Amino acid sequence: MSSAKIAVVTGASAGIGAATARALVAAGYRVVTGARRVDKLRQEMPEGVTCLPLDVTSQESVDAFAAQVPVLHLLVNNAGKALGVEPVGGATEELWRTMYETNVLGVMRLTRAFLPALEASGAGHVINVGSIAGFEVYPGGAGYTASKHALRAVTRTLRLELLGKPVRVTEVAPGLVETEFSEVRFAGDKERAKTVYQGMEPLRGDDVAECIVWAASRPRHVNIDEIVVRPLDQAAATMIHRREAGD
């Protein structure tokens, strides 16, 4: 039996999750990943990574996933999304519900399912991928920022509740990262998604993955409560330095 630590990464079929799973493999973890698009997950993951179907909005799916992972040291709750940019006055209820189901209740479901195993490991760690949207707001962003504010509250509460137990709790809160995120937000409109990163240099999934692996690899008595990581070109959610072509 290998003595490697075991990590779960949710939403590893793209973006930050895929980069994190690869970085954890490179750091020596045995990695179990989940996403709804299992074929894409298998394409993205290097050999040796376990790829399982997972829909964090379904308790049944979370139960089936968790049953495959009896031993766990690190849970990276990464699966999440923004949907639309409608103002509060024109909000689509179904989009808000899906964001809350995924970004908040999904994290609760995975954390609840895995806390016993994390505690039993003697050196457990929950890393939640939050966002600067967890403490900043912007017009058209309320559905998403409300969900990430809620996730931040859940993460900070968990830190209090686990005091005295061998489970660390961390929030990694990135600014703009170029992934499938904006394409998902704009319902598959690739051209519109590109404009989000126009004229500026966004973070890559790998930049966030490095933060996650760094937090996980501190000595077990060190709890990194939060990491806020933004592109140099982004000082706040709505303050972005953009260059004209040729600048």
67's tokens: 């049953």
The contacts of residue 89 (CB under 8 Å, 6+ apart) are: none
The C-alpha angle 73, 146, 83, rounded to 5 degrees, equals 90
31/54 with CB nearer ligand NAP: 54
Q: Residues touching ligand NAP: how many (CB under 6 A)? A: 31
Identify which range of 15-23, 68-76, 210-218, 226-234 contacts ligand NAP by CB under 6 A: 15-23
CB-based contact 145:137 (threshold 8 Å): yes
Active-site residue (options: 29, 100, 138, 144): 144
What count of other Cβ atoms lies within 10 Å of the Cβ of residue 139? 9
Query: Per CB under 6 A, does 129 bind ligand NAP?
Result: yes
- Work out the burial of residue 18: count CB atoms within 10 Å of its CB; fewer than 13 is exposed, 13-18 middle, 19 or more buried: buried
Please identify which residue in 84, 124, 174, 231 interacts with ligand NAP, judged by CB under 6 A. Answer: 174
Least Å distance between CB 213 and ligand NAP?
Answer: 15
Task: Output 121 or 203, the one with its CB closest to ligand NAP.
Answer: 203
20 binding ligand NAP? (CB under 6 A): no
Give the one residue of 10, 111, 121, 145 binding ligand NAP; rule: CB under 6 A.
10
Q: What is the DSSP letter of 102?
A: I
Q: Does the footprint of ligand NAP cover residue 121 (CB under 6 A)?
A: no
The answer to whether 197 is a known catalytic residue is no
- Please report how close the Cβ of residue 145 comes to ligand NAP at its closest, in angstroms: 11
Contact flag: residue 55 with ligand NAP (CB under 6 A): yes
Compute the least distance from the CB of residue 220 to ligand NAP, in Å. 25
Q: Which residues pair with 94 in a beta bridge?
A: none
Which positions ≥6 away from 207 have C-beta within 8 Å? 174, 177, 229
For residue 153, give the H/E element and its range. Answer: helix 142-161
- For residue 42, the surrounding DSSP H or E stretch is helix 38-44
Active site residues: 144
List of residues contacting ligand NAP (CB under 6 A): 10-17, 35-37, 40, 54-57, 78-81, 102, 129, 131, 174, 176-177, 179-181, 184, 205
